[in-house]
Amino acid sequence: MNYAAAKYFITKKLNEELATNLYYHGFHHTIDVLNASLMIAEIEEVRDDELMLLKTGALYHDCGFLKTYKDHEEAGCEIARETLPGFDYTTEQIDIVCGLIMATKIPQSPKTSLEQILCDADLDYLGREDFEFIAASLFREMTENNLISNEQEWNRLQVKFLNNHKYFTFFSKRLREQPKQNHLSSIQKIVDTY
């Protein structure tokens, strides 16, 4: 498994080829998810090949946006299956990476501890101080892609999403859940004024 070569390939591709109106799902999000994965993995004591697979999953988890907006996870698995053999990933390792990618599909459905880590890393921002800034980038992206039409619809969607979301790892439950609930409470107050 040549992680360094796979990382170089996919980061270059994402950095150069993602649509410019992916204000949330841009290259910066992939790096954010990679960093959050590493932070959680350290607490969860993920090492060696498992860590390499988690990092690969983080880098590839949204690469499907290179092909499509809807069902980008499936497209990401296709890209992983097409490219990772060239970086000496075995079929079994690619299956694990695809499992990681698919686990992030909303609603999240992680089946393994690595998938739980990636799911929590993917939505780590929900319980962070930069929540409003990142949420605003998603609002802009969804508006420009005609997925929502106004701020009221957006706030209702956020309330529903935050109510349905749950963290899986010890790290995220302990450090992200309460701030997430605080964000939910703030948005709920706005929705209640409509």
Cα-only R_g, the chain: 17
* Cα of 188 vs its chain's centroid, Å: 24
Residues making up the chain, counted from first to last: 194
pLDDT at residue 139 is higher than 90 = yes
pLDDT tens for 121-138 read 999 999 999 999 999 999
Mean pLDDT of the region 142-150: 94
Average of per-residue pLDDT across 177-186: 98
pLDDT above 90: residue 194: no
In the predicted structure, residue 14 carries a pLDDT above the cut 90: yes
Q: Residues with Cβ < 8 Å from 162, sequence gap 6 or more?
A: 126, 180, 183, 184, 187
Percent of the chain with pLDDT over 70: 100
- Three-state DSSP class for residue 118: helix
Mention every residue, 6+ apart, whose C-beta is less than 8 A from residue 22: 65, 141
- Structure confidence by residue, pLDDT tens digits, 75-95: 999 999 999 999 999 999 999
Domains and their CATH numbers in the chain: 3-192 (1.10.3210.10)
Q: Which of 86, 81, 127, 87 has its CA nearest to residue 101?
A: 81
The tens digit of pLDDT for each residue in 160-181 reads 999 999 999 999 999 999 999 9
| Residue 100: band (very low, low, confident or very high) from pLDDT cuts 50, 70, 90 | very high
Q: Across residues 19-35, what is the average pLDDT?
A: 97
Neighbours of 172 (CB within 10 A): 25
